[in-house]
Amino acid sequence: MEHVTGTATLRGPSERFTGDVYLNMIEAPAEPARLAAALVRFTPGARTNWHSHTLGQVLHVTDGVALVGTRDGAVVRASPGETVRCPPGEEHWHGATDEAFMSHLALVVGDGRGDGTTWLEPVTDHQYTEALASATSRAKKETS
């Protein structure tokens, strides 16, 4: 057994994120285990770049509202306690709405050569605005 008392908060690198994002690594992939886990905090409007994972990714929202978008334009709006699973190889992004902070646990299983993430280009402001509008419109319809 090992008791880990905490990790330093790291700023998400601008090569992978738009806006201010902060990470606390919970577990890094190290043989024989391959789990990578982090608590990721997004300021309003902040988001990841497009990316994919060799073996997929699980996102569990802990605070705020998460947006998770895919290349086909689908957008999921997830609230605290909800989980979004991104399948292996699916190009996607995730981030906060423009109104509030959002935090999630990000879980991936590494491929033996790291965490299996392929980072791509930033999500444009236009793509983000469209995703936000789509998710907001759908949420309003569901509550009326």
pLDDT digits (tens, 9 = 90+) for 112-142: 777 889 999 999 999 999 999 998 877 677 7
Count of domains observed in the chain? 1
Q: Tell whether omega for the bond before 32 is within 30 degrees of 0, i.e. cis.
A: yes
- Indicate whether 71 pLDDT > 90: yes
User: pTM (2 decimals)?
Assistant: 0.91
**Is 58 a domain residue?**
yes
**Is 5 a domain residue?**
no
pLDDT of residue 72: 95
CB 45 within 8 A of CB 17: no
Domain containing residue 93: CATH number: 2.60.120.10
